[in-house]
Structure 1
Amino acid sequence: MNVFPMLLIAVGVYNALAFLFPESLAGALVSVPLLSGRVLSVTTGELVICLAVLLLFVEIVKATRTGGATAIDHALSLVLFVVCLIEFLAVPALGTGTFMIITLLTLLDVIAGFTVSLSTARRDLMVGSA
C-alpha cells in the first residue's frame, strides 16, 4: 500500500463514472444554500476533483518518506500521469475540463514528489556529513 498512487482512486472513480454513468458527471448532485442567498450546485465531477485534491495531499505527505519504496511510488505516479494524459487526449469520454484538472493534479503529484524527495535527500546528506 506504500507504493500505491492514491490519485489512482480518483482517476478510477472518474473513469468508471464517465463510462458507466456519463450523465451523472454533469448534473447537480447536491445544492447548498449560501448566506449570500445564492445556491451552490455541486456536480459529481467536482466532488471527484475534491477527492483528488485530498488524495494529492496524502501523496505529498508520502513523498516525505525515505527508502526504496519511495522511488517505486514516484515511478508509478509518473506512469499514472502518462496514462491520464493519453486518456485525456485520446478518449472522447475523458476529454473534459474535469478530467483535465485531475490529469494536472497527477502531474503536480509527480513534480511535488520528486521535489520533496530531492529536498529531503539533500537535507539528509547535509546532516549526515556534518
Structure 2
Amino acid sequence: MVGFPLLLVPLAVYNIIAFLMPGVSFTDPLIRLTLLSGEQWQITLSDMLLAAGVLLLLLEVIKGARPGAKYLTDHLLSLIVFGAAAAEFVLWPKFGNSTYCLLTLLALVDFISGIALRTRRRAVVAPAAPAPVSKSQPAAVETPRSAPAVAPAPPRPEPAPVVTPAPAAPVPPATSVAESVLLDQSAPKPTVNSPDLQPGRQPPSDTPQR
C-alpha cells in the first residue's frame, strides 16, 4: 500500500451507501454509549466515517514522512482523490452535506501535507554549498601540535669488556714438514777429493824415514 491513498476508503464507503443503500441514513444513531457522567453518547454513521478519515489521514502523513517513499505516486493519487470528492460534493445532491464536505477537506489536507513534507525533506537533505575562498585572504596555516613530553629511559649498564686471547703461533702443516724432509734426503752430499783419504793409500806419517 505504498501508493494507495487511504482516504479513498471512507469516500468509497460513502459512495456505496449513497448509491446502493438509499434507505440508510447518515444521521441515525447506530451506537449509544453511556459515559461516566450519565450522558448517553449517540454515534452516527457520519461520525464513524469522519473518525475513520482522521485516523487514515494520520497514517497517510506517517507514510509520506518515511524515507524512500514514492512521493510522485502518492501526491498524484491524493490529488485525484481530492478532485473527485470535490466534484461529487458540488455536482451530486446526495453528497451536498457537512459529512462529505469534511471528508473532502481531509483529502485536501492529505495532498497539502505531502507537498509540505517533500519540500521539507529537500531542504534537509540538500548539502550546504561550500563557501568560496577569496584569493586576497591567505590560507590558514595549521600550527603543528607539540608532541607530548616523553620521560627519558633509564641508562643501561655497560657490558664488561671482553678480553680476546693473543693468537697462537701458526703451526706448519704436516705436508710442508714431510716435503722439507724429502728434499733434505734427496739433496746430493758433497764428496771430499783428498788424496790422503782415497782407498788403498795410507796416510803419511809425521815421523821422518831413516
- TM-score in terms of structure 2 length: 0.58
| Helix, strand or coil at the partner of 1:103 | helix
- Displacement of 1:57 in angstroms is 0.6
User: 1:49 aligns to what?
Assistant: 50
Q: Residue 17 in 1 paired to residue 17 in 2? A: yes
Structure in which a larger fraction of residues adopt helix: 1
Q: Residue 120 in 1 paired to residue 147 in 2? A: no
Q: Residue 3 in 1 paired to residue 16 in 2? A: no
- Displacement of 1:24 in angstroms is 3.4
Distance 2:32 2:2 in 1: 36
Identity across matched positions, percent: 35
Amino acid of the structure 2 residue aligned with 1:35: L
Count, aligned residues? 129
Distance 2:27 2:18 in 1: 10
Q: Alpha carbons of 1:124 and 1:19: their partners in 2 closer, same or farther (altered >3 Å)?
A: same
Amino acid of the structure 2 residue aligned with 1:27: D
Give the CA RMSD over aligned residues.
1.7
User: 2:63 aligns to what?
Assistant: 62
Distance 1:33 1:113 in 2: 39
- Displacement of 1:122 in angstroms is 1.2
- Residues 52-87 of structure 1 deviation map (CA, whole Å, 9 limit, x = unaligned): 111101110111135572111111101110110000
Gaps of 5+ in 1: none
Which of structure 1's runs of 4+ aligned residues deviate more than 3 A? 65-68
Contact 1:66 1:117 in 2 (8 A): no
Distance 1:120 1:8 in 2: 26
- TM-score in terms of structure 1 length: 0.91
Structure with bigger gyration radius: 2
User: 2:98 aligns to what?
Assistant: 97
